[in-house]
A = this chain, B = another copy of it.
Amino acid sequence: MSGEKRRLRVAAAQLGPVQIKDERASVVRRMVALLEGAARSGCELVVFPELALTTFFPRYYYENLADVDVFFERAMPNETTLPLFDRAKELGVGFYLGYAELADEGNGVKRYNTSILVDRSGHIVGKYRKIHLPGFAEYRPGKLNQLEKRYFEVGNLGFPVWRTMGGVAGMCICNDRRWPETYRVMGLQGVELLLIGYNTASVNHAADEPAHLRMFHNHLTMQAGAYQNGTWVVASAKAGKEDGHGLIGGSCIIAPTGEIVARTYTEEDDLAIADCDLALCDYIKSTVFDFVRHRRIEHYRLITERTAAIAPD
């Protein structure tokens, strides 16, 4: 293992439920409180959940897309979120923030499920827009709905990484974490610290499956992604009952060995804190997952040639 010390104290800042009637300002106050708690514990980086500022609105059907815009941000920071940015800069704490983004890129306003990474000096280092949108584009009467494909465009920024906080950081959002491609594309760019926010319903909207699998799959995919790419993973949930709709917690920090080194056990505002030694990535990346010695891309072509599964006749 590398002798270089590159330790970073990090918090996954889980949010309890956000009800539909809750003002964004009250959520920002809760986030500032979590940030201050993390700073008191010596954290230099705090990861907040996906769509942190509002309830998880894609569970609701709005016939007119304009009616959903109340959940979106037109600028970041903005008047409501500025107290979080200011306090973080004051404390010298970087953060990951997930929010619904209304973007005017010159070809009409687009809606994205977005995260940003802010460094310890208050500079916005990077932005990511969610690529693996789960659920359906169409309303399904009488069923549990998950309408992200209706409300969001597929992210158009790829899976970039940034050199910041003494290492190489990347981001993804919620359902992205289930896909090995997400981790691998960033692993091929040397990611050492992968930040994830999520909202995961306690019940699978699409299938009748045993309830315990929700938490198991949440951790399984992130632990495998961490190990298979030799990266730290810091994952933060929104948890608890939002207007009666349950969300799992299980926010956690995962080592490059795939081991969970800290996690929450509540469904409330909560912190999971760990010292992430970025040098621990090196031994995985230089041995079993030394890509240059072991990967055989000539045999991987289907992964980028074919979207669907096609079984033999």
A residues with CB within 8 A of B? 1, 131-134, 154-155, 158-159, 161-163, 168, 175, 178-181, 183-185, 187-190, 204, 206-209, 213, 216-217, 220-221, 223-225, 227-228, 257-259, 283, 285, 287-289, 291-292, 294-297, 299-313
Contacts and interface: CB of A to CB of B under 8 A. Distances in A.
Identical copies in the complex: 2
Contacts of A175: 288, 294
Contacts of A294: 132-134, 175, 179
Contacts of A158: 299
Contacts of A134: 288, 294
Closest 9 CB pairs of A and B: A190-B311, A224-B224, A180-B180, A292-B308, A206-B287, A304-B304, A188-B302, A207-B287, A181-B300
A310 B206 contact: no
8 contacts: A154-B296, A180-B180, A188-B306, A204-B287, A206-B287, A209-B283, A217-B288, A220-B227
B217 A312 contact: no
Nearest to A223: B220
Contacts of A189: 302, 309-312
Contact of A292 (B168, B302, B307): B307
Given A217-B258, A220-B223, A221-B224, A163 B303 contact: no
Contacts of A312: 161-163, 168, 189-190
B291 A307 contact: yes
| Central interface residue in A189, A294, A305, A309, by most chain B CB within 10 Å | A309
A44 B302 CA distance: 31
Given A188-B310, A309-B190, A311-B168, A297 B303 contact: yes
A180 B306 contact: no
Given A132-B294, A297-B307, 8 more contacts: A134-B294, A180-B180, A188-B308, A189-B310, A217-B288, A224-B224, A295-B307, A303-B304
